[in-house]
Structure 1
Amino acid sequence: MTAQTYLAYDYPLLSAFWTMLWFFLWIMWFVLLFRVVLDIFRDDALNGWAKTGWLIFVIVLPFLGVFVYLIVRGKDMGRRERTQAHAQQEAFDSYVRRTAAGATHPSSADELTKLSELRTRGDISDDEFRRAKELVLAGHGAGAGASAGGGPGTAPGPADH
């Protein structure tokens, strides 16, 4: 038989299982190492020297450094991660609220389109359209024309004709 044939017989299923287990543990170790390093930089309670000391300890003696860090400071790692996630969620929610609030105010083009439709239907006169258009273009909005008498959305009175 050739060498390739012997390889299949010399590598039992249990060996494949142990290889996969060690590979999985190795990946988990790197995930844990990176989480510890990120937590060192995330913690505002540590000053620069303490962060440097922990980082050197974790890099020079990685297994011992990570295990000691988890024993000494591991209890607060979850709290710091939740605090950061909460702050990110609040920032996102605030951004969404600001963006949505900006979308509720119609643009000048939208207001002019509505004014044009009102004039086309005969709800406002040409003079009322001209005054409301001037207000929209000046940045005061069409709502200000309504309070001045005879703006959009109001029925034309006898004095408007």
Structure 2
Amino acid sequence: MTLASAEYPFLNLMWTMLVFFCWIAWFWLLFVAFGDLFRRADVSGWTVVFVLLPFFGILLYFVTQGRHILDRQRGREMSTSDNTGAAQIAEARRLLEQGVIDDAEYQSLKRKALAR
């Protein structure tokens, strides 16, 4: 054994790596929570909770709002990527073929998409 391994045993190294990983993961969760929070217009007060009780506030936010974060993200992506009329018509056509909407609704959606 070398002197370096005797001064810092393997379990201490593993513990340090775990603590560092958890620290990075917590900051990632903090950025995700703040990013979601500042994109929303329907909530307020969470920032105060994050500042006063950072660990508890982040955990509480993910417990209460976690299942909706992905839905809001997908909604933002859909609203930015499907702004073209062709994409809206293609989506309406897919819904028509699946039987979700009828021909009248398809024509209405098509007219709205072409009007943009």
Shift, 1:87, TM fit: 2.1
Matched with 1:12 is 9
Q: Is the 8 A contact 1:42 1:80 kept in 2?
A: no
* Count of aligned residue pairs for this structure pair: 84
**Is 1:32 paired with 2:29?**
yes
Cα distance in 1 for partners of 2:13, 2:28 equals 23
In structure 2, distance between residues paired with 1:59 and 1:82: 28
1:29-68 paired onto structure 2 within 5 Å: 29-46=26-43, 50=44, 53-68=45-60
Mapping for residues 4-153 of structure 1, pairs under 5 Å: 6-46=3-43, 50=44, 53-91=45-83, 94=84
Larger radius of gyration: 1
Cα distance in 1 for partners of 2:9, 2:70 equals 41
Please give the TM-score of this superposition, normalised by the length of structure 2: 0.63
Taking only aligned residues, the RMSD between alpha carbons, in angstroms, comes to 1.9
1:8 Cα shift? 3.2
Give the % identical residues.
Answer: 36
Letter of the 1:64 partner, please give it.
Answer: F
Please give the secondary structure, in 1, of the residue aligned with 2:82: helix
| Ranges in structure 2 where 5+ consecutive residues have no aligned partner | 88-116
TM-score scaled by structure 1? Answer: 0.47
Runs of 4 or more, structure 1, over 6 Å off, are none
1:74 to partner: Cα distance: 1.6
Q: CA deviation at 1:88?
A: 2.8
Contact 1:57-1:65 at 8 Å conserved across structures: yes
Structure 1, unpaired ranges of 5+: 98-161
Q: CA deviation at 1:6?
A: 4.0
